[in-house]
Amino acid sequence: MAPCLFSCFRKRASSAVANHQDNDNAATEVTEDEEETSLAASEGPVVVELFSSQGCATSHEAELLFSRLGRGDFEGELPPLILLAFHVDYWDHMGWKDPFGSSQWTVRQKTYVEAFRLDTIFTPHLVVHGRAQCVANDRDAVFTAINSVSRFPPLSFRATFERPRTETLQVSLTRSIKKDESGGKDIVIMVALFECGLLTRCEDGQNRDTVLANDYVVRRLERLCDGEVKDVVAENEKKKTVSSRTINFSLWETFNSGKCGIAIFVQNSSHQILGSQKFQLPPHI
């Protein structure tokens, strides 16, 4: 896809929602033995990814809707959500360089564009659980996409957070696993570090002289590699196999843990999400 082929979409009366074919067999079991029955019957949160840019005139409307989703303004109409805003960089040459824009997020959006067989890359673009997509400032289409996807049991990681250095956040994730559990070669676990409550005054571009509010902005995204696996004896003397993994995030100068959280999600080779979980960071880490 040529990098110059992109669009800024305005709200339309209707917007098609595309769905991947479900691949439920690829899901991995991540629950603890004693919680297995209750978690298996439950439905976890839906991961909603917004591809946006401060340089796009119509992304602002989508960002406002995105923030309302996070505040729970539509409780009862939608399932629990995990929100992640990826600011792309292909608008940066149009007069305003998005301070949160990254070519890494542009590449991520392009993988979805190819998976959904779309004709062009555009903002604002919403992808739901890797299974549905729509124009992100069309509220009806957003609700339809969110309510259309299959949901999976939530992940069951336990998280601890440390600052070994001022510029580093260390996240340790632990979960119980079955002896015969296999994640599968096509399954990856991703961990996103996001930030809310961001305000930016645009001094140029399509949003010139506008103060933009951005929430759930992804600042870092890392793949969780295989970690140490060991047997432990719990208080009830029941042996469990525990997987422990650690990931280090490099931090930015204005990092404020009280405004940040992490999202964990399992994704297959078709980019479909098979389970997710979210943690808010401690306020004074």
* Residue 88 pLDDT > 90: yes
- H/E stretch holding 235: none
CA-CA-CA-CA torsion sign (22, 25, 28, 32): positive
Quote the pLDDT of residue 284.
87
**Mean pLDDT (whole number) for 102-128:** 98
Quote the pLDDT of residue 219.
98
> What is the Cα–Cα distance from 60 to 63, expressed in whole angstroms?
5
Alpha helices (H) along 127-274: 139-148
**Mean pLDDT (whole number) for 171-191:** 76
Answer with the residue of higher pLDDT: 178 or 148.
148
Write down the CATH superfamily of domain 6-22+29-280. Answer: Interleukin-17 receptor A/B, fibronectin-III-like domain 2 (2.60.40.2150)
Q: For the chain, which residues make up each domain, given as ranges?
A: 6-22+29-280
**Mean pLDDT (whole number) for 63-85:** 97
Task: Using pLDDT thresholds of 50, 70 and 90, give the confidence band for residue 226.
Answer: low
* Residue 266 pLDDT > 80: yes
Question: How far are the Cα atoms of 3, 8, 167, 185, 261 from residue 103, in angstroms, in the given order?
Answer: 11, 18, 22, 26, 22
Quote the pLDDT of residue 244.
87
Cis peptide before 124 (omega within 30 of 0): yes
pLDDT digits (tens, 9 = 90+) for 192-215: 999 999 999 999 999 999 999 999
Q: Is the pTM higher than 0.85?
A: no
* Residue 1 pLDDT > 50: no
Quote the pLDDT of residue 12.
47
Question: DSSP for 189-205?
Answer: EEEEEEE--EEEEE-SS
Quote the pLDDT of residue 32.
35
Task: Using pLDDT thresholds of 50, 70 and 90, give the confidence band for residue 118.
Answer: very high
32 within 8 A of 176, measured Cβ to Cβ: yes
* Residue 104 pLDDT > 80: yes
**Mean pLDDT (whole number) for 49-55:** 98
Task: Using pLDDT thresholds of 50, 70 and 90, give the confidence band for residue 23.
Answer: very low
* Residue 240 pLDDT > 90: no
Mean of all residue pLDDT scores within the chain: 85
Spell out where the chain has E strands.
6-8, 18-19, 46-52, 81-87, 121-123, 125-128, 132-135, 158-165, 168-177, 188-195, 198-202, 210-214, 217-223, 228-233, 239-250, 260-267, 273-280
Phi, psi of 62 (to 5 degrees): -65, -40
Both structure tokens of 79? 């399932």
* Residue 140 pLDDT > 50: yes
